[in-house]
Amino acid sequence: MGGTTNGSNQNKDDDLARKLTGRCPEATVSFAGAEALCLVDTGAEVSIVTETFFREKLLSRGLRLQDPLDWMRITAANGTDMPYMGYVELDITVLGHTFHDMAVLVLHDLPETAARSMREYKSRVPGVVGNNILRRMFEQLKDSHGRHYDRKLLEDNASWAQWITILNLYKATQDPGDVHSTHNGHIGFIRLQRRNPVRIPAGTVKTLKGKLRDECSSSADIEGKDNP
């Protein structure tokens, strides 16, 4: 009887966890030949790697740590300062495409007093890809493959699907007027091609297909936010 109760409570906890949390987009990026799993964040202005990753993977590649910039202050989403050691300039590679001379900040490791779960996460995911890299990726891929770069990349490698969704979201957040807008950067209301409501957890990206009045079928990249 006790086992049944515990099992029921565990199911409730798992269900609540799925409602309260969402998995953020993660992808593998090569920093000067050293691969790292990174959080891809269209809300981040800068890209970072941890101090441990820099010391263990990048120092041996002859990369020089530049001093911190006096005019640059890095803050977390909650407004607290994020002290960083400096920055490095290096080439990054994503699915065989190299983007040269990118600047990446090197953040100090979390202190031992930080939550164990956070320290373990930083060990597993030591990098963040922010808008400075996403901007270069978008511009270079568009220049190399044309306006429909996404179709060409997918034809060559289906693994580009996640990156293309993220880059489309980046494009929409940076230039909302570049989607043949009708008023203040908005196309209009989209009627989804499904009746059931769609839940988008915080920190995730989903592509939803729908119809616009007086427009053909379209799709939209929607990002879940921490606040409703």
- Asked if residue 190 and residue 154 are part of one domain, the reply reads no
Q: What is the pTM of this model?
A: 0.68
pLDDT along the chain (228 residues), means of 10: 55 65 83 96 91 95 87 75 89 96 93 89 94 94 90 92 90 62 50 71 69 50 47
- Asked if residue 128 and residue 217 are part of one domain, the reply reads no
CA–CA separation, 207 vs 222, rounded Å? 6
Q: Is residue 18 part of a domain?
A: no
**DSSP symbol at 34:** E
- Asked if residue 162 and residue 209 are part of one domain, the reply reads no
- Asked if residue 78 and residue 110 are part of one domain, the reply reads yes
CA–CA separation, 32 vs 58, rounded Å? 8
The answer to whether 47 and 104 are in contact (CB under 8 A) is yes
| Domain CATH code at residue 47 | 2.40.70.10
Cα torsion 199, 41, 113, 54: sign: positive
The total number of structural domains in the chain stands at 2
CA–CA separation, 20 vs 12, rounded Å? 12
- Asked if residue 165 and residue 63 are part of one domain, the reply reads yes
- Asked if residue 145 and residue 98 are part of one domain, the reply reads yes
- 3-state DSSP assignment of residue 81: strand
- Asked if residue 35 and residue 114 are part of one domain, the reply reads yes
Q: Is residue 8 part of a domain?
A: no
What token pair was written down for 18?
């799925």
**What residues make up the domain containing 210?**
178-223
Q: Is residue 215 part of a domain?
A: yes
